[in-house]
Structure 1
Amino acid sequence: MGVTLNPEVWRIDNLELTVRLILAIVLGGLVGLERELGGHSAGFRTHILVCLGSAAIMLLSMYGFSEYAAEPNVRIDPARLAAQVISGIGFLGAGTILRTGLTISGLTTAASLWVVAAVGLSVGAGFYYGASISAFLVVISLFFLNKVEKIFSRAKKDRSITFILQRRINSLQQIVTSMNESGIKIYKITIENEEAADPSVEPLIIRMNVKLKKTKAFDEALIKLAGIEGVLRLETAGDAL
């Protein structure tokens, strides 16, 4: 007994197609709005374009070849192009990830682009509820869980501080005392010698890896450290949210 194929399954009217594309713009824009407000590299327009493009590709995969659906030797696979979107979106996400010293930023934005691509594919396939609830949960995660993450990560913030000191002035003890008072815990110290153009200065390079207990007072602590006698210059780098 043969199976009767219904070619109408692979057809969609213009109104339904328009609704899906507009919904993709709305849901992608909601996620992108949070990234835009946070000043991230991939913001409002980028997320809209990714979501809209994913929805358009899904629509193409499902309905773009409907005229060939009735052909006996043609097999339509709606998931084929969708799979390429999921793997291909990685290059765009990778472009938002930056590393500067100890700082790595852009991971959350890269993840949001990947999720928005999934939302766009869901909208294109007509999976409205799944797409809507996914976009809603992403927005909740970015807006609210980011605040919770900051609270729990305050005690885990790592920083690297480099001091350029005058060798003849004993500043190290004052630096350590000041850092302890500011809630900065030192867990590694590296001392390097540097030849100076002025022999009377004889700079000494001290690199410290530290953990912060009071992140809000870190800027004030740096100003205090820079004012210690014998400190010619200091530089800092650390993890970013």
Structure 2
Amino acid sequence: MIDLHQLFDISPFRWQEILTAIACGFVIGLERQLRGKPAGIRTSILIVLGTYVFIAASMSTNTEMTDPSRIIGQVITGVGFLGAGVMLTRDGMVLGVTSAATIWMLAAIGVCIGIGQDVAAIKLSVLSVVMLIGIDILENSSSALRRGVHRKYSEWATRNGGLLFGRRHDDSSANRPDPDDPH
């Protein structure tokens, strides 16, 4: 006879934490995917879940000879490389920095879950989505916040098909030449 408890036992991991990791990754990944950004739903879930698994596994092997905090440091380093993979340079502009920072935050949320701070992880996930959406709304409503990099990017986007932050850009001010732009 199959023992259901043994079948579903995933020690040292816990189903509640796995479901929390999936939910947190889903919420942030949904925001990214709806905007057409790197690290959508699947990637976000896997980053949070993978980080949780590494941290929970390291916590379960904690002895006098081991130090789980070293695993946290290694996860942060590894996720930094993953984040660097979504950044690129185009016409002298660095793109994908927000996606890289989001990946870093996803790993931080996975660490929170791994150390047993599920509620904090959920709150941080919601806060991250609020920041991603809220700052975008603020930038779109204020011309002062569209200066600098965003202005140069909007000009680049206008020259290269009109896409700006995943949506069509129709700002006529973007057609004015930038005195600092060599093109």
Match of 1:75 in 2: 65
Q: Which of residues 91, 95, 104 is equivalent to 2:85?
A: 95
Which of these two proteins has the greater Rg computed from alpha carbons?
A: 1
Which ranges in structure 2 are unaligned for 5 or more consecutive residues? 1-9, 160-171
TM-score by length of 2: 0.73
TM-score by length of 1: 0.57
Match of 2:32 in 1: 35
Alignment of 1:123-134 (within 5 A): 123-134=113-124
- The answer on 1:108 being equivalent to 2:105 is no
Sort the Cα spacing of 1:30 and 1:102 in 2 relative to 1 into closer, same or farther, 3 A: same
CA displacement, residues 99-154 of structure 1 (integer Å, 9 cap, x when unaligned): 22144321111000000000001101101232122111101011222111233333
The Cα of 1:187 is off from its aligned counterpart by 5.0
Aligned residue for 1:75, secondary structure, equals coil
Aligned residue for 1:89, secondary structure, equals helix
> Which residue type is aligned with residue 108 of structure 2?
A
Match of 2:146 in 1: 154
Aligned residue for 1:59, secondary structure, equals helix
Whose strand fraction is larger, Structure 1's or Structure 2's? 1
Percent identity over paired residues: 32
CA distance in structure 1 between the aligned counterparts of 2:69 and 2:123, rounded to whole angstroms: 21
CA displacement, residues 156-209 of structure 1 (integer Å, 9 cap, x when unaligned): 4123699xxxxxxxxxxxxxxxxxxx6565453xxxxxxxxxxxxxxxxxxx83
Which ranges in structure 1 are unaligned for 5 or more consecutive residues? 1-12, 163-181, 189-207, 211-235, 237-241
RMSD: 2.9
Instruction: Figure out how many residues of one structure are paired with residues of the other and give that number.
Output: 155
> Which residue type is aligned with residue 114 of structure 2?
G
The Cα of 1:19 is off from its aligned counterpart by 0.9
